[in-house]
Structure 1
Amino acid sequence: MGLKVMLVDRDAERSAVLEQTLKEAGHRIVAKLREGEDLAAQVQRHQPDIIIIDMEDPGRDTLEHMREIGRDQPKPIILFSDRRDSDYIQQAVQAGVSAYVVDGLARERIMPIVEVAVARFRELQALRDELVEAKTQLADRKAIDQAKGLLMQRKGLTEAQAYQLLRKTAMDRNARIGEVARLLLSLENVL
């Protein structure tokens, strides 16, 4: 199944090469934007699978739009540019660019670049998801330990009994045990 692609380019000739190559590969162009449009709002509106930006000299506004997309609605972003400034390239990568391509837009290079950018983005997203899950598990464990200690102190329970009470409460409420532990701790702070 093809990708839904958003193109950003002010040069109609370059954009036509990109568009034709992508369509021939089975992808669909869902939006064509000019430089300066609110990229984040257009991404929200069109929900592309990938964003391809082709600009000779992208500016700070473009970077800010990419940061906003990376933060709020992550998508693979390919940036074709003539700008060789290593500081800017570093900022672009930090802003969420999956591929930064200098030295023009060669038709035969487009699809391999798209494929690598999408694969790199997916791998990075999987790592981010794993990190979020690990942080959540760590926070849950800390909250559970604190809640067990509170129950042991207040109700005179053993550690096993305190854990069983948390677990039963979580099951009764159809919630995660970490959520129940955090709720108990927040109620203790209020009282």
Structure 2
Amino acid sequence: MNSVTATLHTLIVSTDEASGQLLRACLLQAGCTIVADVAPDRSLSAQLAQHQPELIVLSTPGDAGQLASTVARACGDARRPMALFTSDARGGSIDAALSAGVAAYVIDGVEPGRVRAVLGVAMARFRQQGRLLDELHGARTKLAERKVIDRAKGILMARHQLGEDEAYQKMRSMAMNKKLKLAEVAQRLLDVEELLER
């Protein structure tokens, strides 16, 4: 049994009972623990919240992009790895599914040996996507903080006739004295400036 899939709590979202049954058998053989097999209906969000799956496996003969988008909306902010098994080879469906966060898109390939490998790839890609999203979020946060610090520095320079380095050191000292991050001190300076301008 593959350690990647062993006891992986898996929720199946299927639009077709026959293909869903075959996929269920392959998932069980791959070592997954099936927590539920549901339809993409109004109860999907509640089912996801109730079962908290570690993996979502989608199964549909067609409209794969639509199914992936529906499941992604039902997940909301709780990102989860998704693997999709379908007969839908249309480029638009593939693009829509990948945009919705599907980590593995498999066309006409439901066999036990292949399913296990696909799930391993899906989990690895999901972790990689998560790291990239974290890096992107961190970069955006740093850029936003840099802008706040630069604006606050400009206010100190104008109000107190300070040079750029002096204004930066003044803010840095304030941050250290108050045990705050530099960006927090800068935001407080901007808030005070906004109050004074009213």
TM bucket by the smaller chain? 0.7 to 0.9
TM-score normalized with structure 1 length: 0.83
For this pair of structures, how many residues does the alignment match?
191
- SS of the residue corresponding to residue 72 of structure 1 reads coil
Task: Identify which of 148, 152, 168 aligns with 1:147.
Answer: 152
Distance 1:159 1:25 in 2: 62
The one-letter code sitting in structure 1 at the alignment partner of 2:189 is L
Structure 1's 37 and 106: CA in aligned 2 closer, same or farther, altered over 3 A? farther
Match of 1:62 in 2: 67
Task: Identify which of 142, 151, 158 aligns with 1:137.
Answer: 142
The one-letter code sitting in structure 1 at the alignment partner of 2:181 is R
Task: Identify which of 79, 84, 109 aligns with 1:79.
Answer: 84
Would you say the 8 A contact 1:166–1:180 is kept in 2? yes
Distance 2:75 2:125 in 1: 14
The unaligned stretches of length 5 or more in structure 2 are 1-5
Match of 1:189 in 2: 194
TM-score normalized with structure 2 length: 0.80
The one-letter code sitting in structure 2 at the alignment partner of 1:31 is A
Distance 1:174 1:61 in 2: 49
What displacement does 1:10 show?
4.9
Distance 1:15 1:50 in 2: 15
Would you say the 8 A contact 1:66–1:96 is kept in 2? no
What displacement does 1:90 show?
1.1
Distance 2:26 2:109 in 1: 15
The unaligned stretches of length 5 or more in structure 1 are none
Would you say the 8 A contact 2:19–2:60 is kept in 1? no
Q: CA RMSD in A?
A: 2.6
Match of 1:107 in 2: 112
Percent identity, please: 37
What displacement does 1:36 show?
2.3
What displacement does 1:13 show?
5.1
Distance 2:76 2:170 in 1: 38
Deviation by residue 1:101-142 (Cα, 9 ceiling, x = unmatched): 111412221010101111112112211111111111122112
Match of 1:118 in 2: 123
Distance 2:18 2:65 in 1: 24
Structure 1's 61 and 10: CA in aligned 2 closer, same or farther, altered over 3 A? closer
**Stretch deviating more after TM superposition (22-31 or 133-142):** 22-31
What displacement does 1:72 show?
1.4
